[in-house]
Amino acid sequence: MTAGHPVQAVIFDLDGTLIDSEPNYYLADRELLARYGVDYSETDNLRYVGVGSLYMMQDIVARHGLDADPAAMTAEKNALYLEIAEHTTRAFPAMLAFLDRLAARRIPVAVASGSSLEVVRRLLAAVGLGDTFAQVVSAEEVPRGKPAPDVFLETARRLGAAPARCVVVEDACPGVEAALDAGMRCIAVPTLTAPPLPPPFARAGLLFPEGMAGFDPERAMAWVEALRVP
C-alpha cells in the first residue's frame, strides 16, 4: 500500500484480537477431547492458536486415530464453548477504543474469524458489538481456513474493497500469514508473546510485540491514517 492509496476497510480477527476468548476455548477443547479419551494440555493447545475449529478437529482426529467425524466434533465444541463463554467473555478495552477511532473517521470494519458463524455472531452480541461490523465472515464459509488467505479475500469481496486497500488486525501467526498472502497490510498484536516471535510477525506493517498489554489504539489509528495521506 503506497501513499495516496487510502484504506477502504479494517478487518479484525475475533478470538484473541477483539475478545479475550482463548482461555475459554482451551477449557472447551479440554472437556470435549476428554470425552474422546484425549488428554489435551496447554502445550497441545499452542499448536492450534489462530487456526479454525474444523481444521483443528481434522488434525486431532488424524493425530490420535479417532473414529470420529471432525464436523460433528466441531459442532460439539461450539456448544461447549458457548456454554462457557457467552456470559464470561469480554472485549479488550483497547480494541474498543480503536473501533471508536475508526468509526469516528467512518472507516468500515469487518470480522473474519476461524470460528463458526453462529459462535462469532453470538459472542459479538454478548460483548455488545453485534451491530458494529459491516460484514462478519467465518472461515467455514470459504474453502480453506487460515493460514490460507480465503477468509480475508472473501471479506474484502463482500465489502467491495480491494485487498490492497484493507488492513487486518491479527493476534496469531496463521492469521498474519493469511493477511499478508491476501495482499493486505497487517497490524499484529500477538497473543503468544514469548520471544522469539515467529518470522511472519516481523513482516506485519505494525507490530506490538508485547501483545495486548502494549497495544496503543492512538498509535494504531495514526498508522492507519498515515496510509490514507495523499
Q: Catalytic positions, please?
A: 13
Q: DSSP string of 112-146?
A: EESS-HHHHHHHHHHTT-TTS-SEEEEGGGSSS-T
Sign (positive or negative) of CA dihedral 74, 88, 46, 96: positive
Placement of cell 480491494 in the chain: 162
Question: What is the C-alpha R_g of the chain?
Answer: 17
Whole-angstrom distance, CA of residue 169 vs CA of residue 151:
13
Judged by phi (left if over 0) then psi (alpha if -120 to 50, else beta), residue 152 lies in alpha
26 touches 84 (CB < 8 A): no
Q: DSSP string of 15-57?
A: BTTTB--HHHHHHHHHHHHHHTT----HHHHHTTTTS-HHHHH
Whole-angstrom distance, CA of residue 72 vs CA of residue 128:
29
Cα dihedral 111→117→119→123 (10° resolution): 30
Burial class (CB in 10 A: 0-12, 13-18, 19+), 199: exposed
